[in-house]
Amino acid sequence: MNETIELMLSHSSVRRFTEEPIADEDLQAIISAGRAASTWKNFQSYSIIVVRSTEKKEALHALTPQPAILQADTILLFVGDHNRASKAAELHQAHFDAKGTENLLISSVDASLAGQNAMLAAESLGYGGVFIGMIRHAAREIADLFRLPDYTYPLFCIALGRPNQHFPVKPRLPHEAVVFEEEYQEQGVETIIAYDQVQSDYAGARQKETWSERLVAQFGQAEYPETKALLKEKQLL
């Protein structure tokens, strides 16, 4: 165990913040750390939009009404970005077609790695934050708000600031339910039942539904249409 691993293991989402601003040099360090993350073939298939103005945060909140958006000092919007790749094709007078699952995975994974790096850097400096993926439910409006061109799409944002709350670390699934030696080991429903109880014990009176009920609510319905519609519009699907 070292300081870096201890920081990783102490991660907890922060949704309430003080009014203390993030120092400019700290924000630059957070973003630089994010951009240092691993990236497929060094394509860096993402962009980051820094949102600090009250006007833009209020507009974003109107589309994705998460209170953390208004409370946070800074919002980092992560965008899957193959627009630069289209410019490379233009440079070399080459055919360009970014459509398809593989290219979406490339940009989504690149952005996610950068986002996690940025979050860890922020926490190392005494800040906190929360990932907000629900912006995809208003994908077209988000794209319009931030003037996203073809071959780009909004993935998630991170609300960052000085924490005004501290929750215990959420318990994860047990090691043996996630980490397997040599081959996949499918779990039975007993694993779900046991973890439901762990989560209920953690949440206490704050719990409104069990962990497995949240899973069913997410994966037991048709996909949200906004993301697919925008991806087609931006020539990525």
Each residue's pLDDT, cut to its tens digit, for the chain (237 residues) gives 899 999 999 999 999 999 999 999 999 999 999 999 999 999 999 999 999 999 999 999 999 999 999 999 999 999 999 999 999 999 999 999 999 999 999 999 999 999 999 999 999 999 999 999 999 999 999 999 999 999 999 999 999 999 998 888 999 999 999 999 999 999 999 999 999 999 999 988 888 899 999 999 999 988 888 899 999 999 999
Provide the pLDDT for residue 166: 85
Provide the pLDDT for residue 173: 96
Nearest Cα neighbor of 140 from 233, 59, 230 is 230
The alpha carbon dihedral of 122, 124, 127, 128 has a sign of: positive
**Cβ proximity of 115 and 78 under 8 Å:** yes
Q: Domain spanning 3-170+228-233: which CATH class is it, in words?
A: alpha beta
Q: Quickly tell me which residue has 């318990």 as its tokens.
A: 171
**Cβ proximity of 227 and 237 under 8 Å:** no
CA distance 113 to 157: 13
What separation in angstroms does the CA of 237 have from each of 123, 189, 224, 228, 233? 36, 35, 15, 8, 8
Provide the pLDDT for residue 206: 85
List all residues 6 or more positions away from 23 whose beta carbon is below 8 Å from its beta carbon. none
Q: Would you say the pTM of this structure is higher than 0.85? A: yes
Provide the pLDDT for residue 212: 95
Query: Please, which residues bridge with residue 152 across strands?
Result: 81
Provide the pLDDT for residue 1: 86
Provide the pLDDT for residue 207: 87
Provide the pLDDT for residue 184: 97
Query: Please, which residues bridge with residue 128 across strands?
Result: 161
CA distance 160 to 17: 8
Provide the pLDDT for residue 160: 98
Provide the pLDDT for residue 153: 97
